[in-house]
């Protein structure tokens, strides 16, 4: 059996890149990506970014006691510039912008080649058992070390 390519994207100099093909289900009747589909693409980018750092969300949730943590979107600002269309390959770029005591702000872009289609700022909050919580120290350290010195804007709160 041949092993398929890694679908988790790649981490390079503090940025994570995830290639996604646009399918019919992602589009409206005219073959243009429906605006809400970009939210799914961005979520995949955030999930694969964490997984590339060894912080798979299922593993984080399964941690024992005080170390269990999940993430919920607290705020999202999104700008749409150009449409993507069926069968195109887009890239979701994700990088940490600010790492706080209980939240992470991520800068994300959806690209087609060099063209920026979507630009988003997303703040995710750490939660456990449905309640806000501080990021475990180990998680904060991994996130802080993932940022390239060029991109580093870390707020220690």
- Phi/psi of residue 39, each to 5°? -65, -40
Mean pLDDT, rounded, for 96-120: 97
User: H/E element holding 91?
Assistant: strand 89-99
- Write down the domain spans for the chain: 10-146
Determine whether domain 10-146 maps to CATH 3.40.50.300.
no
Q: Is the pLDDT of residue 55 over 80?
A: yes
Give per-residue pLDDT as tens, 73-97: 999 999 999 999 999 999 999 999 9
Catalytic annotation present for 79: no
145 CB burial (10 A radius; 0-12, 13-18, 19+): exposed
CB atoms within 10 A of CB 42: 23
Indicate if the pLDDT at residue 156 is higher than 70. no
Could you give the CA distance from residue 67 to residue 143 in angstroms, rounded to a whole number? 16
pLDDT tier for residue 154 given thresholds of 50, 70 and 90: very low
Separation in Å, CA 101 to CA 22, 30, 124, 134, 138: 36, 44, 12, 6, 12
The predicted-structure confidence for 9-32, as pLDDT tens digits, reads as follows 999 999 999 999 999 999 999 999
- The residue with greater pLDDT, 154 or 80, is 80
Read off the pLDDT of each residue in 107-115 and give the average, rounded to a whole number: 98
What's the pLDDT at 152?
A: 45
The residue from 6, 26, 28, 87 that is catalytic is 28
In this prediction, residue 33 has a pLDDT band, given cuts at 50, 70 and 90, of: very high
Query: In the predicted model, what is the mean pLDDT of the chain?
Result: 89
């Amino acid at each position: 059996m041949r092993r398929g390519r890694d679908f988790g994207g790649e981490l390079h100099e503090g940025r994570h890149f995830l290639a996604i093909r646009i399918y019919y289900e992602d589009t409206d009747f005219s073959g243009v990506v429906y605006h809400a589909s970009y939210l799914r693409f961005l979520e995949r980018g955030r999930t694969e970014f964490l997984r590339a750092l060894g912080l798979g969300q299922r593993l984080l949730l399964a941690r024992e006691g005080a170390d269990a943590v999940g993430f919920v979107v607290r705020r999202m600002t999104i700008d749409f510039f150009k449409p993507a269309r069926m069968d195109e390959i887009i890239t979701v770029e994700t990088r940490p912008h600010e790492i706080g005591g209980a939240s992470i702000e991520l800068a994300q872009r959806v690209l087609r080649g060099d063209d920026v289609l979507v630009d988003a700022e997303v703040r995710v909050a750490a939660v456990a058992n449905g309640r806000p919580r501080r990021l475990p120290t180990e998680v904060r350290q991994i996130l802080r070390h993932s940022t390239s010195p060029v991109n580093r804007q870390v707020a220690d709160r």
